[in-house]
Structure 1
């Protein structure tokens, strides 16, 4: 079976690196030490050397298969003194190839250390960071050398939909990525001074792992795909697809907060997805947010929903901006009523939870 996720990630880095090398070679005769790279304080040479270290580091983290979860592996790449720009471009192509090879070889659920913002990333995260590094720093060097450079929009979109989940899409992906990283203005938006990209949140939950769904994965799920997950029979169920569509809409309208989005429940023993769980949106002014979930029929009756709900509720209620969690369950859905009860939710009287009392309301307070 072809691992389409690995293929897509590797090809994105490969395409970004090929385009970058083509442009940079047109300026290889220039003195890269004497020219500042765009708006950066680094020279073009220092910027290129930074890019080699970033790509080498990402490849090493993935190759380590999660052995380094507290910090980067204690090694780096050093370019020999006196290496000319043409040689430096060759080094960039080499470390780009190392990253693409690591992406092709890394299983989808493997995570390794990266500090922003939850201290880990999966292969799609590292691919998106690699693409962003290549596009942005090629832009910086090209701007310093006076070279024209505009990468394909789909590469900028690849990065935006995976590591910039709170950035509302603009008229075109490349100008949006430049704006989001403080490199250019965008009509109708305030300039960006400080920024960080954001890998997805992952939470342990007993026999499960709750993996935050990126806008890219949400778009695939909403369109009938698997979102990059290996699902058990009958999954993803309709509620998960509906939640993915809600996540995608929130992203497209600029109100998405990824930590209050959709999570996929992945079973640790075989790394198969069994269901979805998440929030209907960020907490309101009173600190209340609604939570929902579903499981594939073949995964029900095993206590997975209870374990996941306890873990997600504990994480949410430990935050200062969340004071209570709210859930509604169909009156006829007795198993789901038992799930919320086992997770500590209590029945509450609410007037607007459905016609003729079809829904029961539950709350869990901090």
Structure 2
């Protein structure tokens, strides 16, 4: 599986060996990949990085191991600033499309890189790739009610509000008509 390249970013899907390194040490994984070592900081973290680490162990690693042919649907993707060769965030999808053709994405950006449209650029690239995959009809994303910047990222990418969920708001984008 190749990485995705946009104007300023590279989205890198982590294979099992990199996920195992990440589970032990982000800096070791980044060093092994030839990246500058990051110090990710999130605005209003509220334990998100801890939650992300728990998801790595309880969802990502088990599913990547169990699905070697379709691991890219479950893995953690780095958002790397190409010029800086630095991880500035992460993005991922919660598995292949369900019976209705829907899948869900999640993402975050280092607070030091907020306000630069990097998240919008990453989501644009990632969602375009997802819609190239067979069986995908809809991409959804949930945002906390107070995360206006994240909601704006989705709106800029053509997502529409789809209702309230336990975590906040759900947003959806349907496959463009021209996509197969």
Fold match (TM-score > 0.5): yes
- Deviations along 1:123-164, one digit per CA (max 9) or x if unpaired, are xxxxxxxxxxxxxxxxxxxxxxxxxxxxxxxxxxxxxxxxxx
Given that 1:219 and 1:244 are in contact with CA atoms closer than 8 Å, whether structure 2 keeps it comes out as: no
Given that 1:202 and 1:210 are in contact with CA atoms closer than 8 Å, whether structure 2 keeps it comes out as: yes
Structure of greater relative contact order (alpha carbons < 8 Å, 6+ residues apart): 2
TM-score (norm 2): 0.80
Q: 1:320 to 1:234 in 2, by over 3 A?
A: closer
What does residue range 8-19 of structure 1 map to in structure 2 within 5 Å?
none
Residue aligning to 1:303:
117
Q: Quick one: which of 244, 248, 253 aligns to 2:61?
A: 248
* Distance in 1 separating the partners of 2:54 and 2:149: 21
Residue aligning to 1:204:
5
* Distance in 2 separating the partners of 1:242 and 1:343: 28
Q: Quick one: which of 147, 150, 157 aligns to 1:333?
A: 147
Task: Kindly indicate which of the two structures has a greater share of residues assigned to helix.
Answer: 1
Given that 2:63 and 2:71 are in contact with CA atoms closer than 8 Å, whether structure 1 keeps it comes out as: no
Cα shift at 1:284 = 1.0
Q: What are structure 2's unaligned runs of at least 5 residues?
A: 43-47, 176-180
Alignment RMSD, CA only? 2.1
* Distance in 2 separating the partners of 1:328 and 1:346: 11
Which runs of at least 4 in structure 1 moved beyond 4 Å after TM superposition? none
- Deviations along 1:72-99, one digit per CA (max 9) or x if unpaired, are xxxxxxxxxxxxxxxxxxxxxxxxxxxx
2:40 matches 1:234: yes
CA radius of gyration, larger in:
1
- Deviations along 1:281-311, one digit per CA (max 9) or x if unpaired, are 1111211100000112222221111000001
* Distance in 2 separating the partners of 1:284 and 1:332: 28
Cα shift at 1:321 = 1.6
Residue aligning to 2:136:
322
* Distance in 2 separating the partners of 1:247 and 1:204: 23
Q: 1:243 to 1:210 in 2, by over 3 A?
A: farther
